[in-house]
Amino acid sequence: RKSNGDIDVDAMANELEEHLKRHFWKVT
């Protein structure tokens, strides 16, 4: 579901999680 000018929180959180996972994998 999308509202006008609203950020897709679920998609944002998903991307953030993926980003963090990759970052941690590189650091570890």
pLDDT value of residue 2: 58
Distance CA 7, CA 1 (A): 10
pLDDT value of residue 5: 66
Query: Which H or E run includes 9?
Result: helix 9-27
Bigger pLDDT: 16 vs 27: 16
pLDDT value of residue 27: 74
Which pTM value belongs to this model?
0.47
Residue 3 confidence class, pLDDT cut points 50, 70, 90 = low
Q: Return the ∠ at Cα 25 (arms to 14 and 28), rounded to 5°.
A: 140
pLDDT value of residue 13: 92
Q: What is the CA radius of gyration of the chain?
A: 13
Q: What are phi and psi of 2, to 5 degrees?
A: -135, 135
List pLDDT tens digits, range 6-26: 778 888 999 999 999 998 887
